Amino acid sequence: MKSHITEYSCQYTDQLRKKHKIWHDGKLKYFQLNGRFILYTEADNVVLASEFITSSKDLEKILNPDEFGVAEHHIFSKFLIIISDILCTYDKEVQINAFKDKRSISEIGGTTMASSRKLKYDESNEASMPARATPSPTHSSNSNSLSLALKFNRPFKPPKRISKVTTGANLNRPSIRSKRVDENTNLTVDLKGHMSKIIDPVRHEPTVPTLLQNFIDKEQLHRFRVNSSSKLRVIRCNPIIL
């Protein structure tokens, strides 16, 4: 299908946010049939970007001859364009199928796109999705049977609390025991007489004087005696009356 094509000389830059931009010479082609813009380099004729614009207001603003060389147009996502002048116009056969696919993507509403994507997803995954397992007839027939969780799980029972000490443990406690169990003969030995000798202060004699008698003998005591030939000194003191 033939389309009327117009070529423009332009300047382009990819420095979108800089205040002082560097501009390059290029060519811009506009296809009237499908509203397509193609940006080329001037020297090598390399395609830099391509975009479809279908809005009549945007097309009128971009192709307005009064704004040539002045207005900056953000036709492409990565480039800014300043159209300088018209180079030539001609007719050429173009493929409209690619344009129809592009236009359908841009103009179809969100609801239609969502439904079509969902349909494609369902069709592609219909064969790959495994079928759900159906319950066996044995389980369905016996409705009163308990499940495995109810059958094997038992309710929690708190541990038993031991309030009193057993007799065997009571005998072996050193703080209160009055008897002792011999490990070799397993016989109980009474400790009342032994405990009375250690604990009873009346029956038990103090051990400190005996230690002093063993430590200090008669030969060492004479060192602490006062010499009989030494003079006696009288210490006089006046009483303090309050």
> Which CATH number is 66's domain given?
2.30.29
Residue 179: which domain range? Answer: 171-215
13-42 pLDDT, tens digit per residue, is: 988 888 888 888 999 988 888 888 999 998
Kindly state whether residue 133 falls inside one of the protein's structural domains. Answer: no
Of 63, 83, 98, the residue that ends a domain is 98
Q: In degrees to the nearest 10, what's the CA dihedral of 139, 141, 146, 149?
A: 20
Number of domains in the chain: 2
Give the model's pLDDT for residue 104: 40
Kindly state whether residue 109 falls inside one of the protein's structural domains. Answer: no
106-140 pLDDT, tens digit per residue, is: 444 444 445 555 555 555 555 555 555 555 555 44
92 and 7, same domain (yes or no) = yes
* Residue 180, token pair as written in the block: 């002792």
Give the model's pLDDT for residue 101: 46
Low-confidence ranges of the chain (pLDDT < 50): 99-113, 139-141, 143, 195-201, 204
CA 97 to chain centre: 50
Q: Which of 70, 30, 67 is nearest to 50 (CA)?
A: 30
Kindly state whether residue 152 falls inside one of the protein's structural domains. Answer: no
Kindly state whether residue 104 falls inside one of the protein's structural domains. Answer: no
Query: From CA 39, how far away is CA 13, in angstroms rounded?
Result: 11
6 and 94, same domain (yes or no) = yes
Kindly state whether residue 80 falls inside one of the protein's structural domains. Answer: yes
Kindly state whether residue 238 falls inside one of the protein's structural domains. Answer: no
Q: What SS3 class is residue 110? A: helix
* Residue 71, token pair as written in the block: 């207005």
Kindly state whether residue 185 falls inside one of the protein's structural domains. Answer: yes
Of 64, 83, 98, the residue that ends a domain is 98
Of 45, 75, 98, the residue that ends a domain is 98
Provide the residue type at 106 as one letter: S
Kindly state whether residue 42 falls inside one of the protein's structural domains. Answer: yes
CB atoms within 10 A of CB 28: 25
